[in-house]
Chain A
Amino acid sequence: MNSQIKKGILDLCVLALLEKGDSYGYDLAGSLARTVEVADGTVYPILRKLASDGVVSTYLQESQNGPPRKYYHLTDAGHKKLDAEREEWIKFCGEVNGILDKENGGKADEQE
């Protein structure tokens, strides 16, 4: 898929992953890369940007093996942003699909 299109929506995907609960970089990278076709590293610049925007906060937590992990947490502002943008995205997808889907699009035109 076109990387420009993907880039814009990945912020939202990371917010959605964090909605399920706090998580650390490696785990988020894996979750994102498993679902969307992106490199594991992609998540880190996004997390930095989200943290500087204040929609995500960070804290360190000891892990059983090895050094402490940096955890990411969705803030209240993050929840609001996610809810608003998720709705927008779903609506937008519906509209785009309406145009792109040949059969439905054709029929819709005929009916009008």
Chain B
Amino acid sequence: MNKSEYIKKLTSELGHMPYGDVKDIIQSMEEHFDEGIGEGRSEEEIAASLGSPEELAVEFKDGAKFKQVMKKRKLSDNFKGPDGRGRIFVIIFNLFVGIEMWLVLLAAIIAAACILAVDLAAIGMIITGLVTGILSEFMLPFIFLILTLICVAVFLVAILILGIKYYVRGLKNYIRWNKNVWHYGLGEE
């Protein structure tokens, strides 16, 4: 295994560790390889003496778990250090940007639904008018109007389905991202 293979394997084994930690670990391992190469050792030799990337990843993850447990015990530390900055960021971002953004998008979806309702009501009224003969004098323009309104309705339904789908998906991701920042900080040192 050469340097890049080793580092790639180690990175994938580290899995869901916060990005900042993975970056830091990879930096250390790259430094280790470079030092060894500077001494004239081969990449394969260095990789072999480092031990298997799988086992090394397990040791890194065990250490991180220990760190998290230690951190959770101190409530006062919630808003200190890099993780604390992450928490403050989450609160401020949500207060001034996050919640507003999701409310505006929700308002847009509700507005689209209202327009759709008005549109459907208009179609219904015109059809009733045509059937009962009240509007029979302007048959042709009203049929065109109905066709136009139906097109608008189809368009709105499509927009609504996509809008709601991505709203839910986006909101889920957004909440997950918030949780991540809350627990692990912004991935800085």
A44 cross-chain contacts in B, Cβ below 8 A:
25, 28-29, 32, 56, 60
When A70-B28, A70-B31 are in contact, do A41 and B70 touch as well, CB less than 8 Å? no
Complex: A52 Cα to B62 Cα, angstroms: 13
Complex: A38 Cα to B52 Cα, angstroms: 12
Of A25-33, A77-85, A94-102, the segment with at least 4 beta carbons within 8 Å of chain B is: A25-33
Task: Verify if A69 is at the interface (C-beta below 8 Å from B).
Answer: yes
Complex: A67 Cα to B37 Cα, angstroms: 12
Task: Verify if A40 is at the interface (C-beta below 8 Å from B).
Answer: yes
Are A39 and B51 interface neighbours, CB within 8 A? yes
Interface size on B, residues (CB 8 A): 26
Q: Which residue of B lies closest to A33 (CB)?
A: B49
Task: Verify if A13 is at the interface (C-beta below 8 Å from B).
Answer: no
Task: Verify if B36 is at the interface (C-beta below 8 Å from A).
Answer: yes
**Interface SS of chain B:** helix
When A48-B25, A48-B60, A70-B28 are in contact, do A41 and B35 touch as well, CB less than 8 Å? no
Question: Number of residue pairs across A and B with beta carbons under 8 Å?
Answer: 71
Complex: A38 Cα to B55 Cα, angstroms: 12
Task: Verify if A21 is at the interface (C-beta below 8 Å from B).
Answer: no
Please, what's the 1-or-0 string for A16-46, where 1 marks a CB less than 8 Å from any CB in chain B? 0000000011100100010000111110111
Are B50 and A48 interface neighbours, CB within 8 A? no
Task: Verify if B138 is at the interface (C-beta below 8 Å from A).
Answer: no
**Interface SS of chain A:** helix
B56 cross-chain contacts in A, Cβ below 8 A:
39, 41-42, 44-45
Are A46 and B50 interface neighbours, CB within 8 A? no
Are A45 and B63 interface neighbours, CB within 8 A? yes
When A44-B56, A49-B66, A49-B67 are in contact, do A67 and B50 touch as well, CB less than 8 Å? no
Task: Verify if A111 is at the interface (C-beta below 8 Å from B).
Answer: no
8 nearest A-B pairs in the assembled complex, by CB-CB distance: A39-B51, A26-B35, A41-B50, A45-B59, A49-B63, A41-B56, A41-B51, A52-B67
**Beyond A24-B31, A44-B28: 6 further Cβ-contacts under 8 Å?**
A25-B35, A26-B32, A40-B50, A48-B63, A49-B67, A70-B31
Jot down 28 A-B pairs with beta carbons below 8 A, ordered by A. A25-B28, A25-B31, A25-B32, A26-B31, A26-B35, A39-B55, A40-B49, A40-B50, A40-B51, A41-B32, A41-B56, A42-B56, A42-B59, A44-B29, A44-B32, A44-B60, A45-B60, A45-B62, A46-B63, A47-B28, A48-B60, A52-B63, A52-B67, A52-B70, A65-B38, A67-B31, A69-B35, A70-B27
Q: Which positions in B face A, CB cutoff 8 Å?
A: 24-25, 27-29, 31-32, 34-36, 38, 46, 49-52, 55-56, 59-60, 62-64, 66-67, 70
